[in-house]
Structure 1
Amino acid sequence: MDFLKENTYQTSCGTIHYWSSILNLDANALVFLPGLTADHRLFDKQIEYFEGKYNILIWDAPAHASSWPFQFDFDLFDKAKWLNGILKQEKIIKPVIVGQSMGGYVGQAYAQLYPNQLAGFISIDSAPLQRNYVTAVELWLLKRMEPVYAHYPWKLLLKSGTEGVATSDYGRNLMREMMLVYDGAQKRYAQIAGHGFRILAEAMEKNLPYELKCPALLICGTQDHAGSCIRYNKAWHRNTKIPLVWIKGAGHNSNTDKPEQINRLIEEFVANI
């Protein structure tokens, strides 16, 4: 990560920290968006591999890790607008969003607001934002997760949070490190998770098309047991014909479980857009 330069972007709710390496403004830029409660380290293996090959940008999402303090007074579209502000600040004109889980939802909100600006979109263990994929019960639950995270014993949360998202030792240890940012600050962790799920439900309830007008790729681990990711991805692929690649033996953070395979898929995708 040494070659990445840390920068900041000011918003009305707080300061976002992000890291970038811009080699050539005319080339595609890989914009890595980590999932809920994860930070920029989630993509260490991708950044290591793509260093010097493409323009790269990655953030600590609002309220996460370095992007704190931050007011929880924003929605998914604010995140997409701030991302657009960061891309403008870095003069990036051909972004390829690589979004893991919540990062994939931010990418779809971005595509809704700026339909002609994306050069490509890769979803890693994420799911579609369209309303018709989720049940009323799922939406109801998404809006009520904060107390669950606030009252769950921290040690158990740490265990389930790390073992539940990855199958590899590397992936689990990394998630543990990222969760330990909130050790002694469980209230903040619960706020980040609860707020994230709530704004996700609200974006789904808007019932917008969230159409991807750029080349796209769906990636999902065969052992992804976070929510109903596997079911969503099957339906997403069936309804849109967007190519879907299953990562054998990988969990919800498949880019940490099978980094070589994911890096190859990203490389092939970018080469063909």
Structure 2
Amino acid sequence: MQEKIYPTPCGEIHYWVSRAQDPETAALVFLPGLTADHRLFDKQIAYFEGKYNVLVWDAPGHGASWPFRLDFTLMDKAKWLDGILCREALCRPVIVGQSMGGYVGQAYAELFPRKLKGFVAIDSAPLQRKYVTGIELWLLKRMEPVYRHYPWKSLLKTGSKGVAASAYGQALMHEMMMAYDGDQERYARLSGHGFRILAQAMEAGLPYELQCPALLICGEKDRAGSCIRYNKAWHKSTGIPLVWLPGAGHNANTDAPDKVNALIGKFVEGL
């Protein structure tokens, strides 16, 4: 994987890209969730590198993509992603988004509906306003002070063990969260901003309809918010296939990497 930098008015986005021998093969674009970085998809990169064109980023404000001015929107992230994909000539990408990464993927689908070849959501949820309650939106916009005043050691424990069920998944999330150790203010600002732009995107009332083949993957032990409820409703409303992973938590791709890799591979082969 080759690390590259994409400049924006708010800061530099770091991303990693690897090309398959056949340039016409599919492009898998992996988008990590809020406060996680590119390492979240280590197991997927190791599996798919060489088979497909592969790209993963540290989302704006995350990992190596810091410092970064936190005054952008979810649509800005989608536009920057498109800029990266155009620069790399990765046409018709298959976006694989975990949690917040799935929201970015839906924003991308809204802005560039004809560019997306496929979409895989891992423990994410729909962006449409109809799926969330008023109180949920109210809370999303007010999470920053919660993270600012929450005891860091407890937050570190909850943030790692609460999103993953496997020892590997918990250790990896703990390692990624340690990037904010000693700077809880940054963690709170980043988290609060992420939830606010998510709420704003939902309140925009846009269609966010996926006009490409899609797949929903969700861990049966996902305890992050109302993710399980959202996925059930998403599947029921749209008919998008939904696969439940027994024993996996919110970071299902770290808890059941072999199963997730097989599902992604089968999905891409069927496109």
For the superposition of Structure 1 and Structure 2, which TM-score range results when normalised by the shorter chain? Answer: over 0.9
SS in 2 for 1:32: strand
Structure 1's consecutive aligned runs of 4 or more residues displaced over 4 angstroms after TM superposition are none
1:62 aligns with 2:60: yes
1:20 aligns with 2:13: no
Contact 1:219-1:247 within 8 A present in 2 as well: yes
2:39 aligns with one of 30, 38, 41: 41
1:258 aligns with one of 256, 259, 268: 256
Counterpart-to-counterpart distance in 2, 1:259 and 1:73: 34
With structure 1 as the length reference, what TM-score do the two structures score?
A: 0.98
Contact 1:27-1:94 within 8 A present in 2 as well: no
Counterpart-to-counterpart distance in 2, 1:66 and 1:146: 22
Contact 1:26-1:94 within 8 A present in 2 as well: no
1:5 aligns with one of 2, 7, 21: 2
The residue type equivalent to 1:67 in the other structure is: S
Contact 1:26-1:93 within 8 A present in 2 as well: no
The residue type equivalent to 1:73 in the other structure is: D
Equivalent positions of 1:220-239 (< 5 A) are 220-239=218-237
Contact 1:25-1:93 within 8 A present in 2 as well: no
With structure 2 as the length reference, what TM-score do the two structures score?
A: 0.99
- The match for 2:187 is 189
SS in 2 for 1:121: strand
Task: Tell me the CA shift for residue 22 of structure 1.
Answer: 1.8
Equivalent positions of 1:1-273 (< 5 A) are 4-23=1-20, 24-273=22-271
Q: Which segment is superposed worse, 178-187 or 16-25?
A: 16-25
Counterpart-to-counterpart distance in 2, 1:236 and 1:29: 25
Structure 2 gap ranges (5+): none
CA RMSD between the two structures: 0.5
Counterpart-to-counterpart distance in 1, 2:5 and 2:47: 24
Cα deviation code 1:12-66 (max 9, x no counterpart): 0000000000224322100000000000000000011111100000000000010
Counterpart-to-counterpart distance in 2, 1:156 and 1:249: 23
Counterpart-to-counterpart distance in 1, 2:48 and 2:186: 33
What number of residue pairs does the alignment pair up? 270
Q: Which segment is superposed worse, 20-29 or 166-175?
A: 20-29
Task: Tell me the CA shift for residue 94 of structure 1.
Answer: 2.1
Q: Which segment is superposed worse, 15-24 or 233-242?
A: 15-24
SS in 2 for 1:37: coil
Counterpart-to-counterpart distance in 1, 2:38 and 2:253: 13
Structure 1 gap ranges (5+): none
SS in 2 for 1:58: strand
Counterpart-to-counterpart distance in 2, 1:167 and 1:144: 27
Counterpart-to-counterpart distance in 2, 1:172 and 1:68: 23
